[in-house]
Amino acid sequence: MSDATLHDHDARLSACPACDAAPLASRIAGTRGVQEDIVLSLPTIHCATCITDVERVLQRHPGVRDARVNLTLRRVTVDAPGMTAEELIPVVESIGYEAHELDPAALSASAADRQGRDILMRIGVSGFAMMNIMILSVAVWSGAEDATRDMFHWISGAIALPTVAFAGQPFFSSAWRALRHGRLGMDVPISLALILASAISVYETLHSGHHAYFDAAVMLCFFLLIGRYLDYRTRAVARSAAEELTALEVPRAFRVTPAGDEPVPVAELVPGDLIRIRPGARVPADGEIAEGSSEIDRSLLTGESIPVAAGPGLALSAGEVNLTGPLVMRVTAAGRDSSLARLTALVAAAESARGHYTGLADRASRLYSPLVHLLAFCSFLGWYLGTHDLRLAVNVAAAVLIITCPCALGLAVPAVVTAASGRLFRRGMLIKDGTALERLAEVDAAVFDKTGTLTMGVPQLVSLDPIPTDARPVALALAQGSGHPLSQALAQALRETGTEPAALQDLREVPGHGISGVWQGREVRLGRADWLGARHGEATLSASWLSLGQGAPIRLEFSDRLRPGAEACVARILASGRRVMLLSGDAAPVVQDLARRLGIEEWRAGVTPVEKAEALRRLRQEGLHPLMVGDGLNDTAALTEAHVSISPASALDAARTASDMVLMGSDLAPVAEALELARSARARIKENFAISLVYNIVAVPIAIAGFATPLMAALAMSLSSISVTLNALRLR
């Protein structure tokens, strides 16, 4: 029999992967213990230093296993069994960060949107003030002296100081929280620079100096805010797959009651409730259709754009769309227990995982703040001792503080991971392990299973003619007692002819061989050729054999079709120079024919699950980094042994759990795209590191040498952060 031998499972096989994919998220998430996680909203975090601080303080707290911050979603997911959000919120607040328990029923981008509007308001205030101060400065630049000059300086100060206090509030409040709790965040040097620029301007005005820098202080604040807003906007463009899933959550449902339809928050739904889903509405919870018929858009889970016919008994998942007719659904899970919420948590956890490059960036960011202040202090001392010009020394120190901001380095990895995972999600690839993208970039060999992976794994009997009419009830009784795809296909074909199963005794399935029973005192079997004493021969179709206890076994042939995109996927991987192998438990002629059709030169037939795992182990011993793509119970060990692994959504639970990524749709082409995107993502990360390194190598000496004003430093720092994020957006 073929390598799709799945004797021990009770999964329902369907020609439509969507029908099998609906419970995907809940099954995977269930194995990860998602319900133990506590999710806290962190509205004030904005940089790599924030990530490091929050994760460190939580991971040090007794009872916390792990903590992962997602900067894009401004939240932290804490693995702390037995603990509550009320116990963890004070831990985060103890280092100066605002924290709230996240209500999954109310998740949205509204908090991030409010922050964007707040920054825009402060930009408007600082821009208006800057223009007025610039007009006043024209008189000073034109030669105004003594009392006239002092008057314009005082007027400028009256406008500038309240403006800097208001517009710079995001920097000042963040810096104060950091200092109050003994930290040096990125906003500390920025705030110090704004204060120094304002203070030196007041000093000059009090002493009737020729130059005041109120215009420069307000301009500095203006451009720093613009840089922060542009950074916010570019990260919003690269919004994560988790945020896209969050946007699909429905806040309310219409519960069916004796008094009529009652609108209720989704969080209040309980299993057993009946809810009405109107045409065009999104499904608010997991459940089963009780009444009505319609068509369902399941592209959320499968990537398939073709609607699925829906009727009583069909399982629906939160986030799917009811297209044509009203439905009444019986709720099975809602809120945090829904498949959509679990899928969101799974994706968010993957995006927050720490790989090699992320760890490198975090370590570098932690060294930045103390180094920045040391450089600024040394610059101040050097210039003051060398020139005895306090104003000049302060300006140089302020420029150094601003220009060495670690934003670019902190965003180097998260921006790329977010953009890449979002693109893969839209192509139907769910990343379960955050380090999978990094490992996928190292892949130099791809190993494929056959049935259910390169082919659809839904066989159809070619013809019933080989089975005598009087033997068909026996064949049906054997076939429906087995979970093997070929047996199920035979049973379906026999039932369609109206055949009724015979009564068999001692029916039992032999894993890896087939199923047997006793009929009229004779042993009858359905299964592999060698188990029944037959030879597969040179046929290129999958086959099973039926033995009626006398005479030669009857050969039954089954056809299978290639999975959509299989040819393009294999061709693209081969063209990239990677090694491609086909490992199958099917007969040699069948495997050879498929390998020939796909252009795969390396193939092996009749491979057992143990041999598949050993083959992957040998590839790794040879120094290769193999990708394994498989879907069956017999592929689980190989998926675990591979450097990185992918399973289709139609795969068994065990295979999906063992894999690092899940292919949501039926098209195999995204697998090849994922390999190319992973390498591109690794290249973007290295480019971002290079951008950050070159920027600091060039900019810091310029600032220390006194060639950069605080205003120029603000512009340079903002451009460095934006350039890193824009480079990551090239992946989209």
**Nearest Cα to 650, choosing from 128, 376, 298, 272?**
298
Between CA 488 and CA 468 the distance in angstroms is 19
Q: Which two tokens stand for residue 679?
A: 């390498």
For residues 514 and 527, give the distance between their C-alpha atoms in angstroms, rounded to a whole number: 4
Q: Which residues are catalytic?
A: 449
Residue given tokens 């089963």 in the structure block: 288
Q: Is 322 helix (H, G, I), strand (E, B) or coil?
A: strand
Strand partners, 555: 545
The Cα-based distances of 582 to 267, 520, 610, 617, 627 in angstroms read 47, 43, 15, 15, 12
Please name the residues in contact with 623: beta carbons below 8 A apart, sequence gap of 6 or more: none
CA distance 16 to 592: 27
CA distance 584 to 564: 19
- The strand ranges marked E within 32-126 are 37-41, 66-70, 75-79, 100-101
129/611 Cα distance (integer angstroms): 74
Which sign does the torsion angle of CA 449, 453, 459, 462 carry?
negative
**568 burial class (0-12, 13-18, 19+ CB within 10 angstroms)?**
middle
CA 659 – CA 647 distance, rounded (Å): 6
Sequence-ordered list of residues with C-beta below 8 angstroms from that of 684, at least 6 positions apart, any chain: 416, 727, 728, 730, 731
Q: Do residues 302 and 18 make contact, with C-beta atoms less than 8 angstroms apart?
A: yes
